[in-house]
Every structure is written in structure tokens, then in C-alpha cells.
Amino acid sequence: MAQAKPVLVPDVSARRIDIQYSFRGAQLLLFGAILYPRGRVPAHDPDIAVVLRGPVQPILVREKQKIAGIWMNADSSRFRSAPAFYGVASSKPIKDLLDERTAGIYEIGLHNLQLSPGSGALPDKARRFEAGLIDLRRRRGVYSEDPHGVEITEGVLYRARIVIPSKVPVGTYTAETFLVQDGRVLAVATKDIYIGKSGFERWVSLVARRHEGLYGLAAVFMSVFLGWAAAMIFRRRF
């Protein structure tokens, strides 16, 4: 008979995060327990990797070069499935947990993301643009990797924290927890989290989607009005 495997019981501190005008970011706590067959905890603590992944979307990445003293778009590459947000925390560096092939299968770690470059892209070009996209989103705070971000207590309880920046995209996020031992993934568990706008921001977003024409006219009218108001104020002062 096949040997029974451990089971992960994950949870998150918030199933929904609301974005309002005062939103300055949040810190999401991902925690849970490891249930072992017959309650036998191994002598050596296993390892945990937690991945929080945002909505997948296509994106066009442009490369700028300085030509004749002017910065211009010199080249571009399209990716079909780049996550809008990607955060990973683990009890050890990913390279010490899994081999490159296994980490690539589960897409654990920034350098193991499968971004699906557009057809016809040369391998060297695709790798260059992948590195550029990851670096750009890492500096924006929507991609992150913490190699010591998971705490494990007595081999049973675990917890990790992933920072949600203020300019995070809305949508359904998936929190994946991986139990790793001796270079193998023993168990996987997922939880969904929804990040959405609320209050006035939600109303504006709904109007922009449902009434695109009226929203555009309102935006033009407001721009003209603000420009006129600024001009009148400037005239009265000077």
C-alpha cells in the first residue's frame, strides 16, 4: 500500500482586501498546520514555500535605448501570461529547497515564473525581456521574494507574511502553500483572496467600465473646467 502523505491545512488573515482612497498597502498573514499520518512528526522539520499570485494578464514590454541623444523605443516583446502580482516566502532559499526543474514545474521563485513569451521570440531576447520585466515589477513592489519569510513551529505550525503594496491590481489572488521535504513537494494547498475597490473608488471603476462614453466626456469636461479655474485664479493674483 502507498504510504500516506501529510496534509496541509492553510488559512489567511483576510479573505478580502478593500482598496479605498486611504489605502497605503497591507500585510497579509498566511498560516496553517501540517497534519502528519498517525500524528508522527518527522525528526527534521520540513520546509514550506508560500506563493501569492495575482491575476494573469498579457503585457507588452518595450525596451528603450538612447539613439542620437534621445531615448526611444528600440525593441519590444509580448508575454501572454504574466501575473500582475507575485510574492513568494519560504523557509529557505528556493535553490536549497528544490531543483530547478521541480521549481519550474510549480513556478516557485521569481526566476522560475513561466511568462509565456509570444510566438516567434528568440530565446536570448525572451530571457532578456523576462529579466527586465521581473526587475521592473520587483522595483514597483508587485514582485517579491523572501527566502526566510516562513516560520515553522515544532514542525507542525507555519506562518508567513507577504506585503501587499498600495498600487496593487484588483482581482482574485491565489495563495499556494507547498510542503517540501528532501527536495520533493509532498503536499499543496490553495486559498483564494479577493482584492477589490470599495467606496468612491469602486463607483468610479464601475462607471468607467459600464459607461465608457459618459466617463470619457466627464473626464474631458473636468479637465477643461480645472484648466479654466486655474487660469482664472492666476489672472486674479497677477
Higher pLDDT, residue 30 or 232: 30
In sequence order, what are the beta bridge partners of 194? 16, 172
Q: Which cell goes with 73?
A: 523605443
Residues 6+ apart with CB under 8 A from 234: none
Query: What's 111's DSSP letter?
Result: G
- Strands (E) in the chain, as ranges, are 7-12, 16-19, 26-35, 47-53, 56-67, 70-83, 86-90, 143-146, 150-153, 157-164, 171-181, 184-197
Whether residues 167 and 223 fall in one domain: no
Answer yes or no: is 1 within a domain: no
Q: Is residue 61 part of a domain?
A: yes
- The pLDDT, as a whole number, for residue 41 is 80
Is 183 found in the same domain as 93?
Answer: yes
Domain presence at residue 113: yes
Least confident span in 49-63, 168-182, 187-201: 187-201
On whether both 235 and 175 belong to a single domain, the answer is no
> Could you tell me the residue range of the domain that residue 174 belongs to?
7-197
Are residue 187 and residue 214 in the same domain, yes or no?
no
216 with 204, same domain: the answer is yes
**Choice between 69 and 150, residue whose per-residue pLDDT is larger:** 150
Confidence band for 209, pLDDT divided at 50, 70 and 90 = low
Whether 180 and 66 share a structural domain: yes
Number of domains in the chain: 2
Do 102 and 117 fall into the same domain?
A: yes
pTM recorded for the entire structure: 0.75
Residue 60 in domain: yes
**45 and 150 co-located in one domain:** yes
108 and 208 belong to one structural domain: no
The answer to the question of residue 2 being in a domain is no
Q: Are residues 42 and 147 in the same domain?
A: yes
Query: For residue range 5-60, what is the model confidence (pLDDT) as tens digits?
Result: 899 999 998 888 877 666 777 889 999 999 998 878 877 778 999 999 999 988 88
